[in-house]
Chains A and B, each alone.
Chain A
């Protein structure tokens, strides 16, 4: 049941609740048929953005376009959006069939058509045989799928999901992620998916929009969000354990991270940073991008560290490290030899380092062409 998708355009959209600003000037374009994830911590404005699209909230200022049509003052019913709520919002006194059929009946879809659509949706979601059950007689996973079925029978060009997996257990969630992506491929509608879970975002989104404090931080492919975070917020928010962020001072080709912590910056980076005329920087290092060595390294080639805590997570091992007064984490996949305690050296793969400006925390970019990566990510 593929539908004709529409695009969504937030043009300087702002939303205030009384004195609280939920969204500060959001500029975002969601392409027709795209699967976009709105990601951020609680209270970042992601659900607000979704509810603005649905018409459940009104835009305070700015313009919201649905398929090129100004939608600021459209009633929710006039917007042709299908939505799955976090608590599923199934009508408790109606059966599964009635729940799914209700919206179609209200819109006077022909009886035969309703029957056909529901049958198809039930088949796609594996809900056959549950038609006469009431929501309270269903498991969490089944309720979630009924909510999805109710949304897809609308055959709406916009498909909005508000943390639909947050009430499921971990195993079901993994399975439901795959199902959702498959479902979207079948439907082809424009999908906005709200979550605070970075794994869901990385696996479901074709693009991810990260919000914090009502401000859009970055919109990009999951690959670029991970590999080219636009600022320290994104860098810390994506990745588990989060990226190590070490403030330091650049002097020529040397980076001072603190007492006795000095690194020699390779030529491409030092030229790049010089060009940015920013000597107070924050260096970002993903825990999986560092190496621990037992043998000493030349001065400026690595940082002396001590292991303060170890965690075995099965597929990986986490090391909590102290380097002078700085704390870092390092992670290694299983199978590598366990470093012994005592004084170790942490060395860095400079191709995987990130630099941010101290102050606003924005990325200082990379001394190599990043477009190549973007294109690869889209392909």
Chain B
């Protein structure tokens, strides 16, 4: 049986290839020798492939340490953002109090405040608290996110209110309503949001750059920049190897969770 592919898939395919090209280039260059890199042909295929670049990177900088730093910060920030978003979204949906909507929209407004506005006050605050060069300093200003509150509020509002009402009639307290009724029902959103937070924090460059000058506290984006500078901008194979290693953890996290997200999407809901 022949499947007919609509013609407009071809331009889409080109766009996909275009956006994949830098990634392919990164992966390929990481396995090339310097001669292959500077070969005039645009052949992306590293043949014969070499792992020397990876060995070199591992020897040149304490990559493990940077991965650990980045992971700790990304983990703390993701966990904290999810927690604050969940609690705020619960409050904005389950309690009715005067000024609730106003408060929510004020909260949303913070999305539109550019980073450059809060950057200096946050820096000064962290510096006065003596939190420069600490995980706390990097993580603390990122621990709440209006986008998370907004998205989770939407998810909770999409759950039939009768689920919560049935629980209230059974004398179920807020903790258990949240933990046993609402969170399982919005699990797909939580996971998706968690991945988003994790990858964003993982890739964050500017704020860690302000907060950290102690090399042992560097996160991966800072380390990459440092490594590029050290290599004088010519050792492309090694730089691409470092970039490949740096991008692995979020890709793995995404792949693991993606399967799970799809799974929970399929099995959620009560459609008859």
Contacts and interface: CB of A to CB of B under 8 A. Distances in A.
Task: Tell whether A and B belong to one assembly.
Answer: yes
Interface string A163-177: 000010000000000
Contacts of A76: 165, 168-169
B170 A77 contact: yes
A83 B169 CA distance: 8
Contacts of B268: 92
A20 B199 CA distance: 47
A362 interface: no
User: Which of under 10, 10 to 19, 20 to 34, or 35 or more describes the interface residues of A?
Assistant: 20 to 34
Interface in B151-176: 160, 162-163, 165-173, 176
A77 B168 contact: yes
A69 interface: no
Nearest to A79: B169
B129 interface: no
Nearest to A78: B171
A136 B169 contact: no
A357 to B, nearest CB: 42
A32 to B, nearest CB: 20
Contacts of A345: none
Interface stretch (B31-39, B180-188, B225-233): B180-188
B163 A103 contact: no
B52 to A, nearest CB: 50
Interface in B128-162: 160, 162
Contacts of B172: 77, 102-103, 106
B160 A87 contact: yes
Interface string B251-269: 0000000000000000111
B168 A56 contact: yes
Interface string A34-49: 0000000000000000
A154 B162 contact: no
Contacts, number: 75
Contact of A107 (B166, B170, B185, B271): B170
A143 B173 CA distance: 25
B242 to A, nearest CB: 42
At the interface, is chain B mostly helix, strand, loop or mixed? helix
A66 to B, nearest CB: 13
Contacts of A77: 168-172
A54 B271 contact: no
Contact of A103 (B160, B170, B271): B170
Contacts of A140: 272
Interface in B168-207: 168-173, 176, 180-181, 184-185, 187
Contacts of A103: 167, 169-172
A330 B223 CA distance: 89
Contacts of B272: 139-140, 143, 167
18 contacts: A56-B165, A56-B169, A76-B169, A77-B169, A77-B171, A89-B160, A89-B163, A92-B184, A92-B185, A92-B268, A92-B269, A93-B185, A106-B170, A106-B172, A106-B176, A136-B270, A136-B271, A150-B166
Interface of A: 54-56, 75-79, 81-83, 85-87, 89-93, 102-103, 106-107, 135-136, 139-140, 143, 150, 154, 167
Interface of B: 160, 162-163, 165-173, 176, 180-181, 184-185, 187, 267-272
The 7 closest A-B pairs by CB, nearest first: A103-B170, A77-B171, A89-B162, A93-B184, A85-B162, A89-B166, A76-B168
